[in-house]
C-alpha cells in the first residue's frame, strides 16, 4: 500500500511515529521519576538514621568517660584494723571512707569545723571510692600502714559539671552544686588533682544506684546467656521443622493448619510470649524468676516461627533438579537433604536465624513479664542466676530520675547497637562464606 493510500485511509506515518515517540518519552519520564522517588526514599531513610544515631552518640559518648580525683591515702591500721587481727570480716567492715575524707580535710582545714560544709565537701567524692580502697586492702593487707597516691571516682554531679551538663553560671538555687563546691572543684582542677579518663567501671561493673558506679557487665552477661539458650533451642528445632514441612510432610488439612499457625505466631505481639512464659515456666514449672534460662525459653518461643519461615523459604529456593540428580545417583532422602539441600539453603537459613536473634536481643516486653526487670547488682555466673538484659537495663536507666543516668542510657544503647551491627555483619559474612563453599 502506498503512502497516498495511507493518507487516504486517514493514517499518516509521520503522525503515528510522532505519537509513538511521545508515548515512549512519557514512559521514560515516568521511569526516571520512579527512580528519583526511590532515591529520595533511600535518602530520607538514611537521613532519619543519621539523625537517630547522631542524637544517641551526642548524648552517649560522654558515658565512656569518667571523672576521678587524686588522693594521698594513708591506710591507717587504727581505722582499717584496730584490733590488728587482719581477719577478713574485720577488714570488710572497716570505714574506708574515713581514709579519703582525712585527705580532703587536710587540704581544706577550714571546712572541718563546719558540719554542713564538711557534708558538701565530702559529697564531691563517690561512694565507690571507699569500695575501691576496701578491695585493695582485701587483695593485699600488707599495704596497711603505707601511703599511696590513688585516683578515686568523684560524684556524678562533679562528672556532669566537667562534661558541660551543669552550667556553673546558673543561679545557685537552680544548680546541683553550690558555689562553695564549685570553688573547691576549681581549686582541685588547678592543682591537677582532677582528671577525666576512660570509664572502665561502665564495662566491668553491674548495676548501681549511683550513676558513676553503674555498669553494663551484668546486663551484657545476662543477654549473652539468654541469647545462647535461645540459639541452642531455636536453630535445630527451626531447621528441623522447616525440613519436615518442605521435604516430608504430606499436603493435607493438618499441615495447612500447622503452616497457618506458624505464620500467625510470627505476628503475635512479643508481650504475649512473656505472659505465656510467666504462666508456664514460672507459675507451672517453678523455674527461677529473672533467670536467663527462662528468658531464653521465652525468646525461643518468639523467635522460632521467624526461623522456621526463613528456613522454609531458603529450602524452597533450592532447584528441584538438584534433588532429582541426587536421587538419580542413588542417594537416599536423608543424603539429599544433608549433602545437597541444606548446604545450598544454609546462607538463607543463617541470615534468617541471625535476623531473628537480633530481634530477640532487642526485646524488652517479654523479659519484663518474667521478672528480669529486677535491680540486680551481682554479675551472673550462670544461666540459673538472677540477671537482667541490655534492653531492660536501658529501660531501667531511662526511668531513673538522676540526670547522670541519661548518658548511661545512651551509652548502653550504643553498646546494644554495636552488638546488633556485629550480629548483622556476622550474618553477611556467614552468607558469603556459605555461598563460596
- CATH fold of 217-436 reads MetI-like fold (1.10.3720)
Residue 149 has pLDDT above 50, yes or no: yes
Task: Count CB-CB contacts under 10 A for residue 189.
Answer: 13
Residue 288 has pLDDT above 80, yes or no: yes
Residue 345 has pLDDT above 50, yes or no: yes
Residue 2 has pLDDT above 60, yes or no: no
Mean pLDDT of the chain: 88
Q: What percent of the chain has pLDDT over 90?
A: 39
pLDDT at 10: 54
Give Cα 246 distance to the centre of its chain: 35
Local structure of 199: helix, strand or coil: coil
Rounded mean pLDDT, 119-148: 91
Residue 434 has pLDDT above 80, yes or no: no
pLDDT at 424: 81
Range in 152-156, 298-302, 413-417, 420-424 with the lowest mean pLDDT? 420-424
Residue 79 has pLDDT above 60, yes or no: yes
CA distance 43 to 33: 15
Q: CA triplet 323, 326, 327: central angle to 5 degrees?
A: 85
| Torsion 355-360-361-364 (CA) sign | positive
Confidence of residue 150 (pLDDT cuts 50, 70, 90): very high
pLDDT at 347: 85
CA distance 321 to 323: 5
pLDDT tens for 7-59 read 445 556 677 888 888 888 888 999 999 999 999 999 999 999 999 889 888 88
Q: Can you give the pTM of this predicted structure?
A: 0.84
Q: What spatial distance separates the first Cα and last Cα of the chain, rounded to whole Å?
A: 64
Task: Count CB-CB contacts under 10 A for residue 13.
Answer: 10
Residue 421 has pLDDT above 90, yes or no: no
pLDDT at 299: 93
Rounded mean pLDDT, 304-330: 90
pLDDT tens for 169-183 read 888 888 888 888 999
Backbone region of residue 155 per phi and psi (left: phi > 0; alpha: psi in -120 to 50; beta: other values): beta
Residue 197 has pLDDT above 80, yes or no: yes
pLDDT tens for 231-266 read 999 999 999 999 999 888 888 888 888 888 888 888
Q: Are 366 and 274 in contact (CB under 8 A)?
A: yes
pLDDT at 422: 85
User: 418-426 long-range contacts, Cβ below 8 Å, gap at least 24?
Assistant: 419/223, 419/361, 419/390, 420/358, 420/361, 420/362, 423/354, 423/357, 423/358, 423/361, 424/354, 424/355, 424/358, 426/354
Tell me 380's DSSP state: P
Question: Which of these, 295, 333, 311, 292, lies nearest to 237 by C-alpha position?
Answer: 311
Confidence of residue 109 (pLDDT cuts 50, 70, 90): confident
pLDDT at 5: 53
pLDDT at 425: 83
Q: Are 152 and 100 in contact (CB under 8 A)?
A: yes
349 versus 436: the higher-pLDDT residue is: 349
Rounded mean pLDDT, 372-397: 89
Q: Residues 172-185, buried b or exposed e (16+ Cβ, 10 A)?
A: eeebbbeebbbebb
pLDDT at 404: 86
Backbone phi, psi, residue 271, to 5° = -65, -25
CA distance 132 to 201: 11
Q: Residues 351-386, buried b or exposed e (16+ Cβ, 10 A)?
A: bbbbbbbbbbbebbbbbbbbbbbeebeebbeebebb
pLDDT at 113: 67
Rounded mean pLDDT, 76-100: 88
Rounded mean pLDDT, 383-391: 91
Q: What are the CA-CA distances from residue 150 to residues 10, 81, 116, 197, 308 (Å)?
A: 101, 20, 26, 14, 56
Rounded mean pLDDT, 59-73: 91
pLDDT at 1: 47
Rounded mean pLDDT, 56-85: 89
Local structure of 196: helix, strand or coil: strand
Q: Are 301 and 369 in contact (CB under 8 A)?
A: no
Most distant CA pair in the chain: distance in Å?
126
pLDDT at 90: 85
CA distance 347 to 127: 51
Amino acid at each position: 500500500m502506498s503512502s497516498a493510500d495511507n493518507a487516504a485511509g486517514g493514517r499518516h506515518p509521520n503522525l503515528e511515529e510522532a505519537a509513538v515517540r511521545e508515548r515512549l518519552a512519557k514512559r521514560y519520564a515516568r521511569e526516571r521519576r520512579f527512580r528519583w522517588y526511590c532515591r529520595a526514599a533511600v535518602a530520607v531513610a538514611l537521613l532519619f538514621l543519621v539523625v537517630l544515631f547522631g542524637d544517641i552518640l551526642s548524648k552517649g559518648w560522654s558515658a565512656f568517660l569518667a571523672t576521678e580525683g587524686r588522693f594521698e591515702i594513708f591506710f591507717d591500721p587504727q581505722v582499717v584494723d584496730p584490733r590488728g587481727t587482719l581477719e577478713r570480716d574485720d577488714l570488710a567492715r572497716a570505714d574506708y571512707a574515713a581514709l579519703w575524707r582525712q585527705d580532703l580535710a587536710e587540704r581544706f582545714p577550714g571546712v572541718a569545723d563546719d558540719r554542713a560544709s564538711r557534708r558538701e565537701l565530702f559529697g564531691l567524692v563517690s561512694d565507690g571510692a571507699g569500695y575501691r580502697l576496701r578491695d585493695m586492702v582485701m587483695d593485699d593487707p600488707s599495704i596497711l600502714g603505707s601511703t599511696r597516691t590513688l585516683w578515686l571516682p568523684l560524684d556524678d554531679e562533679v562528672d556532669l559539671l566537667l562534661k558541660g551538663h551543669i552550667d556553673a553560671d546558673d543561679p545557685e538555687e537552680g544548680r546541683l552544686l553550690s558555689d562553695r563546691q564549685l570553688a573547691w572543684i576549681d581549686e582541685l582542677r588547678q592543682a591537677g588533682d582532677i582528671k577525666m579518663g576512660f570509664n572502665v567501671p561502665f564495662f566491668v561493673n553491674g548495676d548501681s544506684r549511683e550513676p558513676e558506679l553503674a555498669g553494663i557487665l551484668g546486663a551484657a552477661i545476662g543477654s549473652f546467656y539468654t541469647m545462647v539458650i535461645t540459639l541452642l533451642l531455636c536453630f535445630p528445632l527451626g531447621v528441623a521443622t522447616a525440613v519436615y514441612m518442605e521435604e516430608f510432610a504430606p499436603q493435607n488439612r493438618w499441615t495447612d493448619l500447622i503452616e497457618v499457625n506458624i505464620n500467625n505466631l510470627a505476628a503475635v505481639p512479643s508481650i504475649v510470649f512473656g505472659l505465656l512464659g510467666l504462666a508456664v515456666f514460672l507459675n507451672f514449672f517453678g523455674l527461677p524468676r529473672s533467670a536467663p534460662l527462662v528468658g531464653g525459653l521465652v525468646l525461643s518461643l518468639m523467635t522460632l516461627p521467624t526461623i522456621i519461615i526463613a528456613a522454609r523459604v531458603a529450602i524452597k529456593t533450592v532447584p528441584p533438579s538438584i534433588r532429582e540428580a541426587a536421587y538419580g545417583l542413588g542417594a537416599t532422602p536423608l543424603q539429599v537433604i544433608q549433602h545437597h539441600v541444606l548446604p545450598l539453603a544454609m546462607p538463607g537459613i543463617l541470615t534468617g536465624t541471625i535476623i531473628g536473634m537480633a530481634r530477640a536481643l532487642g526485646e524488652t516486653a517479654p523479659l519484663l513479664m518474667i521478672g528480669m526487670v529486677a535491680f540486680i547488682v551481682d554479675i551472673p555466673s550462670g544461666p540459673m542466676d538472677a540477671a537482667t538484659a541490655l534492653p531492660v537495663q536501658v529501660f531501667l536507666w531511662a526511668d531513673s530520675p538522676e540526670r547522670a543516668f541519661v548518658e548511661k542510657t545512651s551509652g548502653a544503647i550504643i553498646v546494644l547497637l554495636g552488638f546488633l551491627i556485629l550480629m548483622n555483619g556476622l550474618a553477611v559474612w556467614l552468607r558469603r562464606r556459605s555461598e563460596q563453599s
